[in-house]
Amino acid sequence: MTIVVGDGLQGYAPNAPYHRIIATGSAASIPSAWIEQLAPGGLLIVNLQRPLLNVILLIKKQDKTMSGQVTRCRGMFMKLHDGERVEPAKRPRGLINPVIERLTAGSFCPKNLFNTDFAFFLQCHLPAAMAYRMTKGQEQFSYLYDQSTERVIRFDTEVVRGSHDLWQQLCSIALAFQRLGQPGRFEYIFQITDDGRQVFRLGEHCWQML
């Protein structure tokens, strides 16, 4: 056994290629070094972790591409980083204006933001989105924040506030989720294409994560 101290995101090229790689740190996307250092036919187990998504992937390398699936393994690893100070993610809080509309029985239910399968589907459409809750006194508010556009919506008890565009997009994504039969995260195929794109596929649908 050889123990090497270094940047795990860079792998360890001197002993490559590897037939098996188990990454015991999570990443938001698969580092290019791991892809390059995996032997043809080799397997990679990795914890892919984003604000709305936390899965263990089993990926096989095939020539210049890689494909795999979401496993039923549960758990998570600490996020890998480059050794610099990690800044906490920005989370808008407090009152968000304007009021978009009143919530009714037929409105999107904010609890769905924390449903594992819907959150996965939502992350495919909004790769930089995060959902979180804030409590003030006896009240609890749910937020959806798209970091890439800085759009945010907040669910109060009776109304939804914030970005009208993000609200409309969320409602459209929820409708698409219903029309596809509320797919579970284990139904997706993960692929890295020959041009380096990292995507999730579900039937004829494809979403790019990197």
Stretch among 38-42, 92-96, 145-149 having the lowest mean pLDDT? 92-96
154's tokens? 């907040």
pLDDT digits (tens, 9 = 90+) for 109-137: 999 999 999 999 999 999 999 999 998 88
What percentage of the chain exceeds 90 in pLDDT? 77
Q: What is the mean pLDDT of the chain?
A: 92
Q: Does 208 score more than 90 pLDDT?
A: yes
Dist. CA 133–CA 155, nearest whole Å:
10
Question: Which H or E element spans position 205?
Answer: strand 205-208
CB 96 within 8 A of CB 161: yes
Question: Which H or E element spans position 132?
Answer: strand 129-136
Dist. CA 20–CA 61, nearest whole Å:
10
CA distances for 125 relative to 40, 82, 185, angstroms:
31, 27, 14
CATH superfamily of 8-81+188-208: Vaccinia Virus protein VP39 (3.40.50.150)
Q: What are phi and psi of 68, to 5 degrees?
A: -170, -165
Q: Is the bond preceding residue 17 a cis peptide, omega within 30 degrees?
A: yes
Instruction: Name which residue leads in pLDDT, 153 or 64.
Output: 153
Q: What is the mean pLDDT of residues 84-88?
A: 69
Q: Is the bond preceding residue 98 a cis peptide, omega within 30 degrees?
A: yes
Q: Which of 163, 188, 145 is nearest to 56 (CA)?
A: 188
pLDDT band of residue 88 (cuts 50, 70, 90) is: confident
Q: Does 89 score more than 80 pLDDT?
A: no
CB 9 within 8 A of CB 82: yes
Q: What is the mean pLDDT of residues 158-165?
A: 96
**Whole-number pLDDT of residue 86:** 66
pLDDT digits (tens, 9 = 90+) for 170-204: 999 999 999 999 999 999 999 999 899 999 999 99
Dist. CA 127–CA 16, nearest whole Å:
31
User: Scanning the structure block, which residue is given the tokens 């050889």?
Assistant: 2
Domain boundaries, the chain: 8-81+188-208, 99-179
How many residues are given for the chain? 210
**Whole-number pLDDT of residue 74:** 87
Residues paired with residue 133 on neighbouring β-strands, in sequence order: 142
CB 192 within 8 A of CB 198: yes
